[in-house]
Amino acid sequence: MQNVPLYKFLEPMFRLLFAILFCILIIRCKKDNKNFQAEAADPAIFHESVKAVTDVIVHDIFSPPVASRIYVYASIGAYEASRFGDSTLVSLAGQIKHLPSTPTPEPGKEYCFPMATTLTFLKIGKALIFSEDTLSVQLDRAMDFYKKTGMPEDVFDRTVSFSDSIVNHILTWSSGDNYKQTRSFPKYSLQKDPSTWKPTPPGYMDGIEPSWNKIRPFVMDSAQQFKALPPTVYNMTDKNSKYYKEAFEVYEAVKNITDENKEIATFWDCNPYKLNVTGHIMHATKKITPGGHWINIVGIVCKSAKTNITKSALSYAMVAIGLADAFISCWDEKYRSNAVRPETVINEFIDPDWLPLLQTPPFPEYSSGHSVASSTSAVILTELFGDSMAYDDDTEVEFGLPVRSFSSFNQAAKEACISRLYGGIHFMPAITNGMTQGTNIGNYIVEKVKCRK
132 and 207 housed in the same domain = no
Q: Where a domain ends, among 111, 142, 175? A: 175
How many percent of the chain have pLDDT more than 90? 88
Q: Is residue 212 part of a domain?
A: yes
171 and 221 housed in the same domain = no
Q: Who's near 124: CB < 8 A, 6+ residues apart?
A: 73, 74, 77, 78, 167, 170, 171
Which pLDDT band holds residue 274 (cuts at 50, 70, 90)? confident
Q: What is the CATH number of the domain that holds 427?
A: 1.10.606.20
Note the pLDDT of residue 1: 42
Task: Return the SS3 of 196.
Answer: strand
Q: Where a domain ends, among 175, 208, 239? A: 175
Span 226-261, pLDDT tens digits: 999 999 999 999 999 999 999 999 999 999 999 999
Q: Say which amino acid occupies 262.
A: K
Separation CA 97–CA 118 (nearest Å): 25
Q: Look at residues 358, 152, 148, 339 and name the one whose alpha carbon lies nearest to residue 253.
A: 358
Note the pLDDT of residue 178: 98
Note the pLDDT of residue 286: 83
pLDDT at 406 over 60: yes
Q: How far is CA 235 from the centre of its chain?
A: 37
Span 183-235, pLDDT tens digits: 999 999 999 999 999 999 998 999 999 999 999 999 999 999 999 999 999 99
235-249 burial, b if ≥16 CB within 10 A, otherwise e? ebeeeeeebbebbee
Task: Return the SS3 of 361.
Answer: coil
Q: Is residue 262 part of a domain?
A: yes
Separation CA 128–CA 174 (nearest Å): 10
Mean pLDDT computed over 415-426: 98
Mean pLDDT computed over 64-88: 98
53 and 93 housed in the same domain = yes
156 and 216 housed in the same domain = no
225 and 258 housed in the same domain = yes
Separation CA 379–CA 413 (nearest Å): 9
242 and 312 housed in the same domain = yes
pLDDT at 297 over 90: yes
**Alpha-carbon dihedral 279, 284, 289, 290, rounded to 10 degrees:** -10
User: Which is more confidently placed, 60 or 28?
Assistant: 60
220 and 126 housed in the same domain = no
User: Which is more confidently placed, 283 or 446?
Assistant: 446
Q: Is the dihedral of CA 361, 366, 369, 370 positive or negative?
A: positive
Mean pLDDT computed over 107-123: 98
Q: Is the dihedral of CA 429, 217, 136, 89 positive or negative?
A: positive
Which pLDDT band holds residue 29 (cuts at 50, 70, 90)? very low
The tally of domains found in the chain comes to: 2
Note the pLDDT of residue 307: 98
251 and 382 housed in the same domain = yes
Output the pTM of the full model: 0.92
Mean pLDDT computed over 55-59: 96
368 in Cβ contact with 341 (< 8 Å): no
358-369 burial, b if ≥16 CB within 10 A, otherwise e? bbbbbbbbbbbb
DSSP letters for 257-281: --HHHHHHHHHT---TT-EEEETTE
User: Which is more confidently placed, 103 or 21?
Assistant: 103
pLDDT at 9 over 60: no
Q: Where a domain ends, among 118, 143, 175? A: 175
Which pLDDT band holds residue 273 (cuts at 50, 70, 90)? confident
Domain enclosing residue 128, as ranges: 36-175
pLDDT at 438 over 70: yes
Beta strands in 251-409 (DSSP E): 275-278, 281-284, 391-393, 404-406
How does the average pLDDT of the chain come out, rounded? 93
Separation CA 419–CA 434 (nearest Å): 13
- The angle, 0 to 180 degrees and rounded to 10, between the axes of the packed helices 309-337 and 290-305 is 160
Span 122-159, pLDDT tens digits: 999 999 999 999 999 999 999 999 999 999 999 999 99
Which pLDDT band holds residue 400 (cuts at 50, 70, 90)? very high
pLDDT at 7 over 70: no
Q: What is the CATH number of the domain that holds 105?
A: 1.20.144
